Amino acid sequence: MKLCKFWLLIAVVVVSANMATVAVLAQSGTLTGAGSTFVNPLMSKWSKEYNTLHSNVKINYQSIGSGGGRQQFLAKTVAFGASDAPLTDEQLAQAGGVGNVVHIPVTQGSVVIAYNLPDVSKQLRFSPETIAGIYLGTIRMWNDPKIAADNPGMSSPLKPVLVVHRSDGSGTTDIFTDYLTKVSDEWKSKVGHGTSVQWPVGIGGQGNEGVANQVRNTVGGVGYIELAYARQNKIAYGSVKNRAGNYIDPDPKNVTNVTASLQNIPSDLRFSITDQAGAQAYPIAGTTWVLLYKTQPDAEQGRLVTAFFQWALHDGQRYANELDYAVLAPNLVKKSDAALRTVMCGGTPCLQK
């Protein structure tokens, strides 16, 4: 009897060891993703912290712009795409239909109006009319009456406004032009909304990094970039007048508050948060979505990618504010988590917990 118990104990140990090995192997591999430059600082932090927790998992994220990320996703050359604009109906059709792709909101943030005016020490204020005028090319000097009206008492510099925009397909552009389309009928009729548009004026920069560098190196320059790029590069940025008539700083908390009050978020999680109501709502804000195929072509990779983004939705949110992103509101975390759990690996949900 004692001998039987001994061999039973050995068997249990061996089985347990094998199960532990399986668990380790299930957390081994490299995930390649591509897309949004908007989210790159946070994605880099997530990748590093997750690798610290799971040393056998490496996340290789290529910050090539939302347009490039969507293309790579549709070509199935990456485990996930990241985009600051959801896929269009046409793009969903390319991916095999509406039900074949899952949009997972993973973070949100502010698009700021960054500028290079060394002689201006006070933060500038921008109304919707002024922003539209700058990008339509009707406001050409920093001492324009519209800028002066936004900033009473400021000594306006006698410098030309040198406009910088994105040169690549960009989710940041999608957010910015979505906002302009809502606040300016002239912009809506002449230019419109998209990840890439025909700009009436200005020079282009590749990625948020490229626009930030152009503005930083151009006295009189102005461009739209994600908040983190402005702060990291020590570039001045303005407050923006919202629908309530208040000039709001692009602090991440003013984005989280917007999402917390959103009503009727669609079931496919494709939505916009620009120009929302609310006294403290920052109006030029957007979402980064992770794009996943609902049926994962590689089950092991599917388990890795869903585990990583489940961690990002929960534990990973702690890193958002320190990198100038908005912490996802609880209502959106719940919806994102539910969407992530619909992703399938080999006929069963990739996430088993």
Decide which of 258 and 341 is more confident.
341
pLDDT in tens, 193-203: 999 999 999 99
Beta strands in 186-257 (DSSP E): 203-205, 221-226, 236-237, 239-241, 247-248
Q: What is the mean pLDDT of residues 252-266?
A: 85
- Residue 332 corresponds to which tokens in the numbers above? 């959106």
Using one digit for the tens of pLDDT, what is the confidence trace for 220-237? Answer: 999 999 999 999 999 999
Please say if the pLDDT value at position 28 is more than 90: no
Mean of pLDDT over the chain: 91
pLDDT at residue 12 is higher than 80: no
Residue 14 has pLDDT above 80, yes or no: no
Measured CA distances, 178 to 59, 130, 183, 322, 353 (Å): 31, 16, 9, 27, 38
pLDDT average, residue stretch 124-136: 98
DSSP summary character for residue 23: H
pLDDT tens column, 39-66: 999 999 999 999 999 999 999 999 999 9
Domains of the chain by start residue, with CATH: 30-107+286-349 (3.40.190.10), 110-260 (3.40.190.10)
Question: Using CA atoms, how far apart are residues 353 and 40, in angstroms rounded to an integer?
Answer: 28
Amino acid at 152: P
pLDDT category at 27 given cuts 50, 70, 90 is low
**7/270: higher pLDDT:** 270
Quick: pLDDT tens for 260-314.
778 789 999 999 999 998 899 999 999 999 999 999 999 999 999 999 999 999 9
Q: How far apart are CA 299 and CA 91, in angstroms?
A: 24
C-alpha distance from residue 79 to each of 157, 283, 298, 310 (Å): 49, 32, 9, 15
pLDDT value at residue 272: 95
Please check whether residue 69 is in contact with residue 34, taking contact to mean a CB–CB distance below 8 angstroms: yes
Interatomic CA distance for residues 337 and 334, integer angstroms:
5
User: Is it the case that residue 10 has pLDDT exceeding 60?
Assistant: no
Instruction: Identify the burial level of 51 via C-beta atoms within 10 angstroms of its C-beta, where 0-12 means exposed, 13-18 middle and 19 or more buried.
Output: middle
pTM score of the predicted model? 0.88
Say what angle helices 299-313 and 2-26 make with each other, to 10 degrees.
80
DSSP, res 74 = H
Instruction: Using the predicted structure, report yes or no on whether residue 86 has a pLDDT greater than 80.
Output: yes
Confidence of residue 181 (pLDDT cuts 50, 70, 90): very high
